[in-house]
Amino acid sequence: MPASIHAVAARAGVSVATVSRSLTAPRTVRENTRARVLVAAAELGYEPNRAARGLITGRTGNIGVIAPDLGNPYFHAVLKGAQARAREADYAVFVADGQEDAGEEEALIRAMGKQVDGIVLCSSRLAPDTLARLDPTPTLVLLNRRVPGRPSVVVDSAGGICLAVRHLAELGHVRCAFVAGPRRSWSNRERLRGLRACTRAVGAELVTIGPVAPQFTSGAAAADRVLETGATAVLAYNDLVAVGVLSRLAELGVRVPDELSVVGFDDIPLAAMVTPPLTTVAAPTELAGRVAVEALLDRLQDGAAQRPAAVQRLPTTLVVRSSTAAPALTRTTTALRSA
């Protein structure tokens, strides 16, 4: 027979109420008392009843994660990190796909709100005023989106894309194309902001194509337009778009990176598997999921709703692989100078 909460209380030498608070509201109990309760619970193999705990705390013990497209491997890593952190806090995770549609996303928030204590909303496509006026219950934490008054975790998209631009400039590229992502994507706006500032700083020219859906087929469809620009390098909104560009270039017989350099964003596992392996900006996806859930758990603590909404920024890094090289003209000039 499983141990009862009364047995844990007796073993730890505390009241049943203290055991309950130690497991559901740890900040209300002294650290040494909570440690004694946890040791007693572990020794007895006690597992709290989720339904009973919900009656005591008024909480469901569930959190939700809404992603705009579960077909995108980027969000698989986010979900892995989110679920790992939720499991550590004894929360279950409900997952939903917003299908890149703001209306669907809003409907999911309302439907899921009856079953969860809080929601991590990934790369939301909702308009800022819609996000601002959403009911405060359930608690929302935004991932890769910033809206005043809402806690958020963001990847440094502008800084990351600037690393890529500087890498291309060092190779000798002076005309670059960007295949832009969804118009309502905050990350896309940040990448564009970083691109414009950094291309000006290095004296490069920027040509923008799109917006396009953040998918493989969109990248394949955009490749012909990239070639028409006369750019010697192309940066894509994400790795899926970049892989689509690579696929179409291969069909056309355009050699990468000899005739065109290609850069992605996110560093999903596929980026290292394609031919040639993709140079990309690596985002800490799994960490982002963990940090977003941590921010949500912190926000669910008593009195936390009155604190100012914090914004946490995560750094990005550039992973250089074989899809980028000096443009052909630069290589020829260098060879002639050497001769």
Read off the pLDDT of residues 38-85 as tens digits, 9 standing for 90 and up: 888 888 888 766 555 554 455 678 999 999 999 999 999 999 999 999
Could you tell me if 114 and 129 lie in one domain?
A: yes
pLDDT of 54:
53
Rounded to two decimals, the pTM is 0.81
pLDDT of 304:
61
Higher pLDDT, 70 or 28: 70
pLDDT interval class at 334 (50, 70, 90): very low
Q: What token pair was written down for 4?
A: 């009862």
CATH number, domain containing residue 324: 3.40.50.2300
Number of structural domains found in the chain: 3
Beta bridge pairs of residue 264? 280
- pLDDT above 70 for 128: yes
pLDDT of 262:
98
pLDDT of 279:
98
> Rounded to an integer, what distance in angstroms lies between the CA atom of residue 96 and that of residue 246?
30
Look at 141-150, 176-185, 203-212 and tell me which has the smallest mean pLDDT: 141-150
Q: Are 174 and 326 contacting, i.e. CB atoms less than 8 angstroms apart? A: no
Could you tell me if 44 and 105 lie in one domain?
A: no
Could you tell me if 150 and 161 lie in one domain?
A: no
pLDDT of 306:
64
Average pLDDT over residues 128-151: 87
Q: Are 179 and 147 contacting, i.e. CB atoms less than 8 angstroms apart? A: no
pLDDT of 285:
95
pLDDT of 333:
42
pLDDT of 315:
97
Could you tell me if 129 and 175 lie in one domain?
A: no
pLDDT of 38:
86
In the chain, pLDDT over 70 holds for what percent of residues?
90
Could you tell me if 298 and 149 lie in one domain?
A: yes
> Rounded to an integer, what distance in angstroms lies between the CA atom of residue 59 and that of residue 46?
20
Could you tell me if 52 and 66 lie in one domain?
A: no
Could you tell me if 50 and 79 lie in one domain?
A: no
Could you tell me if 144 and 243 lie in one domain?
A: no
pLDDT of 339:
41
Could you tell me if 193 and 328 lie in one domain?
A: yes
CATH number, domain containing residue 51: 1.10.260.40
Could you tell me if 169 and 205 lie in one domain?
A: yes
pLDDT interval class at 94 (50, 70, 90): very high
Decide the pairing of beta strands 233-236 and 175-179.
parallel
Domain end among 20, 38, 57: 57
Mean pLDDT for the chain overall: 89
- pLDDT above 80 for 136: no
In the chain, pLDDT over 90 holds for what percent of residues?
66
42 is in which domain, residue-wise?
5-57
Could you tell me if 36 and 72 lie in one domain?
A: no
- pLDDT above 80 for 254: yes
- pLDDT above 60 for 271: yes
Could you tell me if 141 and 99 lie in one domain?
A: yes
Instruction: Give residue-wise pLDDT tens across range 96-127.
Output: 999 999 999 999 999 998 889 999 999 999 99
pLDDT of 332:
46
